[in-house]
Structure formats: structure tokens, C-alpha cells
Structure 1
Amino acid sequence: MAFRKIPREIKIAAIQMYQANLLPLAIILDFLDFSYATFYRAYGLWLKTGDVVRHRHVTQGRKHLMHFSNIEYLKRIIRHHPDWFLDELAYLLETNRFIAANFTTVHWELVRAGISTKKIKKVASERNDDLRADFIRHMADYSPEQLGFLDEV
């Protein structure tokens, strides 16, 4: 059978039977139903590393440009100045943290950190003095008896 996954334990059992000279190799491989090439590949790994499978410790994909502390720095800036644009945040990263990042990189790092554009716009609109003054002016037209508040529960 070609291209099938042979469990690690089966490979180890075959190697141990081979090393103990319990059976000839041809009978072991015939009984376990895998080829000489597969056996010798696993046996070579066994002699070299002590295991019969290759462990991949390399993470897939590209390495992240920004470290955790840089993302926390961006979060602090956004908390104080949520109305700043992404290119301004990228400029601050370059001047204060010496990281040259495109504004799209800044955007995706913020999204990965859980800060969406919607959240930033909401906080920015709440901090907008003109919008806040308009809201207060509009609400001043009503008396306290005319206002009703509902809880979302």
C-alpha cells in the first residue's frame, strides 16, 4: 500500500524485533506490510535521533514583525488617541520603537490583538467633542420625565 501512514508504535515494534533477531527482516516486513525502504528510513532515524518520526519544530508561515510589547504600545496609543490614522501609528512605531511597518501591517496586528476598526471608530466618535456637544444639546431639549432608559438584559 503506497502513501499510507504507518503508526509510530508499529515502526518501533519492527525495529525492536529486528534488533532482537526474533525473526528475519523479510518476515517482519511481510507481516507488518511495509517496504524495505520505509523500514530503513525509520531505522536510520532511530539510530540518528532515537525516534522513528521527524518532529517539525518550525512554525508555518512568516515570522511576525511586531513583538508583544510593540502591540501593547499601539494599544496604549489608541486608548489615548483613537482618532489617529494607521499611517500615523506606523510613523510613531518607526520613530519611537524603530520598527518600519506598513500601515496594513499595523492594521492586521491590531486585528490579531482583538482591536477591530469598528471598535476604534466607536471610541473615536465617543471622544469627538463636536459630536458629544451635539448629543448634549439634543438631549437638553427633553425634560427628565420624558426620558426612559432600557437595560439590554
Structure 2
Amino acid sequence: MPRRYSDDLKARAVILYSDYWLTVQQICKYLGIKKTLVYKLINQYESGLVRGRRYPSGCPRTIDADDEDYITSLIKHRPCLYLDEIQEALLQARGRQISIPVLCHVLRKLKFTRKICSVKALERNENQRAYFMLHMARLAPHLDMLMFIDEAARNRQTSFRKYGCALRGSRYHTRPLILAPEA
């Protein structure tokens, strides 16, 4: 069975090689380990593999924390934006050209998900709603006496933007636009 060496001992061998410029034979003598292990550790150190973890490779990140904050504030302000609109706003405001897959990855990392739009009425007021419920309870003691029609969420643009972004676990709400009556 091969002998196990601690991570501290392995790290010490790399430090003796890189910082103190000792030869492999001197490291073997000081630490009492075999030269094959020292060569393996030096090779891992020079290739970037240290303690079984490789340093990040690939393309450098194109999005930094300021860009992520900008995207978050943009989505919180206008959650119904399409990805290409977010991409264009990021290019104009921050000067960053990113691809749609990178933007999808960033949104997933920021915990934004695509949601179906639910519309809140403009007239919604919790105090007035509670007063109305009490008033209706006095007027109609039986529920079968009431009939309701809901037109509060009617909006000419509701059919255009049915989806939006919201944080995972929360709903995407929008408010209908106030449009001038047609002439």
C-alpha cells in the first residue's frame, strides 16, 4: 500500500522548490520523501494543479460585479425586457458586448428566472379593499347574492409581453399602462 503524505508536507516541498530554490535532492533529504513525489509535486505546481484543483482556465470573465449590479437594477426597473434588449442596454451604458448565452448564464447566476406575467390593477389599495369587503359583508349576508366581473387588468399591451424576469421564488408583477381612450 502506498504511503500517504499530508497536504502540509506536499505544500512545504513546493515552497522549498519555488521560494528557496532548493534542488530535488535537498528537498528529499530535508523532508524524507522520495524524489518521484517531489517531481510530481513540482510538475503539478508548474502546470497550475495544486492540491487536486486546477486554477480557472478558459476565457477571462467579461462580466464583473458592476455589470451584474447594472443588470440587476435594469431587470428590477423593467422586468419584461428581452435578452437582446438587456444586451443592447449593457453595450450602450457600460460598453460591454456580451453574447446571449453569457447573459443567460449571468441571469441564472443572479437567480433570475423567466416567469409568466401577472397583472396588478392600478386601482389596488389595501385599505380601500378592506373597507369594501366590510361594506359588502353588511350589504350581502349570503355569497350567492353577489356577482362580479373583473376588467381591472385590461391593457392593450398585455398580449405583447407575457413573460418577464423575477428572482427565484417570487412572482413577476406588472401594472397596466394608462392609455388614452381611442377617438
**TM-score of the superposed pair, with normalisation by structure 2:** 0.43
Which consecutive unaligned segments of at least 5 residues does structure 2 have?
Answer: 11-24, 138-183
CA distance in 1, matches of 2:75, 2:121: 19
Task: Give yes or no for the alignment of 1:99 onto 2:96.
Answer: yes
Give the share of equivalent positions with the same residue, in percent: 16
CA distance in 1, matches of 2:79, 2:39: 58
2:121 partner SS: helix
* Partner AA of 2:104 in structure 1: H
In structure 1, the residue matched to 2:121 is 132
Aligned residue runs from structure 1 range 104-119, under 5 A: 104-118=101-115
Task: Give yes or no for the alignment of 1:79 onto 2:45.
Answer: no
1:117 partner SS: strand
CA distance in 1, matches of 2:80, 2:43: 58
CA distance in 2, matches of 1:6, 1:59: 30
CA pair 84-58 structure 1, distance change in 2 beyond 3 A:
same
1:27-58 Cα deviation digits (max 9, x unpaired) = x9xxxxxxxxxx33223467899xxxx51551
Q: CA RMSD, aligned part only?
A: 4.3
CA distance in 2, matches of 1:47, 1:111: 38
Q: 2:63 aligns with which of 47, 61, 66?
A: 66
Q: 1:19 aligns with which of 29, 52, 58?
A: 29
In structure 2, the residue matched to 1:41 is 36
CA distance in 2, matches of 1:108, 1:47: 36
In structure 1, the residue matched to 2:133 is 144
**TM-score of the superposed pair, with normalisation by structure 1:** 0.50
Kindly state the Cα deviation for residue 75 of structure 1 after the two structures are TM-superposed.
0.6
CA distance in 2, matches of 1:41, 1:62: 33
* Partner AA of 2:35 in structure 1: Y
Kindly state the Cα deviation for residue 64 of structure 1 after the two structures are TM-superposed.
3.1
Paired residue total: 111
CA distance in 2, matches of 1:60, 1:68: 20
CA distance in 2, matches of 1:115, 1:46: 42
In structure 1, the residue matched to 2:22 is none
Q: More helix per residue: 1 or 2?
A: 1
CA distance in 2, matches of 1:102, 1:81: 20
Q: Which is bigger in relative contact order (C-alpha 8 A, separation at least 6)?
A: 2
Which consecutive unaligned segments of at least 5 residues does structure 1 have?
Answer: 23-27, 29-38, 148-153
